[in-house]
A and B are shown apart, each in its own frame.
Chain A
Amino acid sequence: RKEVEQDPGPFNVPEGATVAFNCTYSNSASQSFFWYRQDCRKEPKLLMSVYSSGNEDGRFTAQLNRASQYISLLIRDSKLSDSATYLCVVKPGQNFVFGPGTRLSVLP
């Protein structure tokens, strides 16, 4: 089983749609959780950290369920510029472990 798993995607949604990404991780010792975004042929960039109580940043909401070892990202009112690959990242120790990513295409 991979350490971090995500929806395989791709997701193709119209502008304005709400889209949800799911992620599960296998290492229960994981302490830190993140969502990164990677545009085509670019480097990954931090989108947001994920906190135990859940957190929101504008149209983006992240949730963490430690008991289920599950992380989610919700994007509301999606924009064309949200098109990218979304990477779930878990930090069980020294290392940042990346999921395989879920590609999102927001269509006009």
Chain B
Amino acid sequence: DTAVSQTPKYLVTQMGNDKSIKCEQNLGHDTMYWYKQDSKKFLKIMFSYNNKELIINETVPNRFSPKSPDKAHLNLHINSLELGDSAVYFCASSFRAPGANVLTFGAGSRLTVL
């Protein structure tokens, strides 16, 4: 059973389109994250949700909108895609409690904007 699963794995689309990436975890974690890894391989936090509540919202264009229907799911919707949005988007999850700190990643969703 995959612990953190995200779909789709690959996404190729035109500039200006809207797309969504879905993420689900079956680890019982209470916190979920979206990270972006660009062409320089730098992994940067975008958003974090704890029990459906937004707790981290880094400087990300408001074309990116996360949604967490429950603590096991965190989806990412992107409007009006731009060339610079091309990257690998990783979903991850963990427990929030101090000391219980392992971050588990999904396999990534590779977005290419043409």
Chain A positions within 8 Å of B, measured between CB atoms, are: 31-32, 34, 36, 42-46, 49, 85, 87, 89, 91, 94-98, 100-101
Pick the contact of A96: B41, B45, B50 (CB < 8 A): B45
By CB atoms of chain A within 10 A, which of B44, B55, B102, B103 has the most? B103
Query: Interface code B74-99, partner A: CB below 8 Å = 1, 0 otherwise?
Result: 00000000000000001010101011
> Do residues B43 and A94 form an inter-chain contact, with CB atoms below 8 A?
no
Q: What 1/0 mask marks residues of chain B from 38 to 59 whose CB sits below 8 Å from any chain A CB?
A: 0011111100101000011000
User: Known: A31-B98, A43-B90. Is A95-B106 also a contact (CB below 8 A)?
Assistant: no
Q: What residues of chain B have their CB less than 8 Å away from a CB belonging to chain A?
A: 31, 33, 35, 40-45, 48, 50, 55-56, 90, 92, 94, 96, 98-99, 101-108
Q: Which residues of A contact B43 (CB under 8 A)?
A: 44, 87, 98, 101
CB contacts between A and B, total, < 8 Å: 52
Interchain CB contact under 8 A, B41 and A100: yes
